[in-house]
Structure 1
Amino acid sequence: MTTGRFFTNWDDTHSELWSHQTIRLAHSIHEQPAFSLDDLARLIEAYPSEHYSLVKTGPRGSSRIWREGEIGKLSGRQVIEAISRGGLWLNLREVSSIDRRYHDMIDQMFAEVAAKVPGFEVPTHQAGILISSPDAQVYYHVDLPGQGLIQIAGRKRVYIYPNTPPFIRPEDLEDCALFQAEVDIPYAAWYDKHAQVIDLEPGQMLNWPLNAPHRVENLSTVNISMSVSYMNDDIRRAQALHLANGMLRRRFGYAPKSRGLHGPAFVAKRVMQRLLRNSKWVKRERAVRCPIDFCLDESDLGGIVDPPKLASQAA
């Protein structure tokens, strides 16, 4: 049960800028008991394996590395300690569906937004908890739903780029909808000159415009964050459009010209993507999740070893 208001510095400018510009808001969500280390450790220990991602990425400045692993038999506290030693991040996906406490927090948060932003209604939403190493990073990517990032502990630097070409093209959004591969969009180092760069502290939240590409670097501290994705009718329409246009481009070789969210052309596209989105062709084109190729080392926290299956095959 949560009490009181979460947003502590909301003013009229935030109401005007919400979803149109990147805004940083002060919040008290990080003070909730559900974010204590003991509660997070228990959550990790009971978390369904199909709903978490343990990822190892390369150090900043290196070529892109993306490996997925599993926590093995470590306790929740040991997992957090292993992450603290570098190179890893743990994403507890769909936590708001698995633990009601986090769902209720986000419900309350959006109720506060709806009370401040004319025309905004509490959307359907999903949240994940990210626990990441002091040197961890999240590569340049885009999300199709609306997004918010709530900082609980630690400091991170967030780069947010314009949601226009060349930073994100219609074809990139189509591929994201079709292939479900948000991190494969093109990135060039010079993009950073045009990014809005924000250092995020505990008790702060970011909300940015729909489909704005972004990337994240931790600032030498263990980070705990909550990522929030949300959907309303306009966002659902946009996703249906991206998927339909991606089908037209990739399956039928037709370069779509219309990107309107209303009218006969949109209705036809919406019907088409509903008919084809579960087809064998789409399922075949969807990105396959990376195989599990490491496990946290039980004898050396912070180290990684081959998972049991790979180790037995090597023997």
Structure 2
Amino acid sequence: MNSMSMNTDIIANWQPQHERLFGHHAIKLQHRLAETGLFTREALGRLIERCPKGELGLESMGTETDNPHRLYGELGGATGLEAIEAIEKGRIWMNIRRVMDWAPEYRDLLNKVFDEFQARMPGFTTYKRNIGVLISSPNAKVYYHADIQGQSLWQISGVKRVYIYPQSEIFLNPRNIEKILLRETAEDMPYQNWFDDYATAFDLHPGEMLTWPLYAPHRVQNHDCLNISVTMEHWTDPIWRSYAVHYGNGVLRRALGLQKLSTTSDGLSVYPKAASALVWKKLGRQIKGDVIKRRDFRIDASSPNGRRDIAEA
């Protein structure tokens, strides 16, 4: 890390009750990521230019909530700072993925954060840690969805509102989790406007982070300002067991037509489901996802909306 001492805690206001709440309830905490110097515009401009092409996601999104229409883009010849300038004027979402794999200073930061968590929560052991950076336009949205691993969102610049919905089959049917795990669909989920009546809304300001329970549906709405955020993901043994059960249920439902399947991730029943999931993957039955075959636009800081359609370029 740059300007911050390795002895200074990243989490600024941890309280004893957070150990019991972590992973079970949404928690908003304060952090010192900005003090590392790794998230200034200049540092992020350099990070964008270093990012391998396959790890730089660019999307342009519509304004609707329940029927998202996405366009996929590429950086083209824009510099990192030009890309940030373009995002600030458009409706664009940039996802700089798996930063720890190719930027050692961010990997060190990721490990420091989880070392802090593990020191404060005995028995909390994480693996497959991941850090990414999101740079998104004023009023941009992330649609109603759920994640398959432990997740936290750290705000660096701008303000966003995060809606966290109840963990129940009304808001997230287990069959939809299975579809996500089997890559039959994206992380987006069926959404209805009345869901918001039952959501908890958090406004996330610079220096604040939010974490929420596994599979809790959520969506995000930027305020009218450029947003710079950091995502961190992790796996634990309980998260893996839950993954194995839902994945195994999806396999058993598809292969054998079974319908009444338990989602309990404790006890011996998890192991046959984990085995069926492994076999399904080895047989190549998992539908491949995350492949974007088209690019609709290119970043263009001189354009009024920050992008130019590739057909026009």
Please list the CA deviations of residues 280-308 of structure 1 after superposition, one character each: whole Å capped at 9, or x if unmatched.
Answer: 43236x4643622221236526343333x
Q: 2:174 aligns with which of 163, 170, 173?
A: 170
Distance 1:295 1:15, change over 3 A: same
Choose 32-41 or 296-305, whichever is displaced more. 296-305
The question of 1:65 aligning with 2:80 is answered no
Give the alignment partner of residue 261 of structure 1, picking from 250, 265, 283: 265
Q: Is the 8 A contact 1:245 1:256 kept in 2?
A: no
* Correspondence 1:92 to 2:93: no
Q: For residue 60 of structure 1, report the CA deviation from its aligned partner.
A: 4.8
Structure holding more helix per residue: 1
Corresponding residue of 1:279: 283
| Letter aligned with residue 292 of structure 1 | R
Confirm or deny: 8 A CA contact 2:83 2:301 kept in the other structure: no
Contact 1:30/1:151 (8 A) holds in 2? no
Contact 1:248 1:256 in 2 (8 A): no
Hey, what does 1:149 align to over in structure 2? 153
1:14 maps to which residue? 18
Structure 1 residue runs of 4 or more that deviate by more than 6 Å after TM superposition: none
With 146-155 and 51-60 compared, the bigger mean Cα shift is at: 51-60
Q: Give the secondary structure class of the aligned counterpart of 1:281.
A: coil
Inter-partner Cα distance in structure 1 for 2:73 and 2:144: 21
- What SS does the corresponding residue of 2:38 show, helix, strand or coil? helix
Contact 2:65 2:143 in 1 (8 A): no
> 1:171-190 residue pairs with structure 2 within 5 A?
171-179=175-183, 181-190=185-194
Q: TM-score, normalised by structure 2?
A: 0.92
2:82 aligned partner: 78
- Counterpart-to-counterpart distance in 2, 1:217 and 1:143: 17
Distance in 2, Cα, partners of 1:176 & 1:219 = 28
Q: Does structure 1 conserve the Cα–Cα contact (< 8 Å) formed by 2:145 and 2:218?
A: yes
Query: Unaligned regions of 5+ residues in structure 1, if any?
Result: none
In the superposition, the TM-score normalised over structure 1's length comes to: 0.91
Please state whether the residue corresponding to 1:282 is helix, strand or coil: coil
Pairing of 1:191-230 with structure 2 (within 5 A): 191-230=195-234
Q: 2:297 aligns with which of 263, 278, 294?
A: 294
Q: Percent identity?
A: 37
Alpha carbons of structure 1 residues 303 and 115: separation in structure 2 relative to 1, 3 Å:
closer
- For residues 62 and 170 of structure 1, the distance between their equivalents in structure 2, rounded to whole angstroms, comes to 20
Say which of 139, 144, 154 aligns to 2:143.
139
Q: Take 2:298 and 2:30, find their aligned partners in 1: how far apart are those partners?
A: 37
CA distance in 2, matches of 1:303, 1:27: 31
Unaligned 5+ residue runs, structure 2? none
Query: Deviation at 1:106?
Result: 1.8
Cα RMSD over matched residues? 2.0
Give the direction of change, closer, same or farther, for the CA distance of 1:271–1:150 in structure 2 (3 Å limit).
same
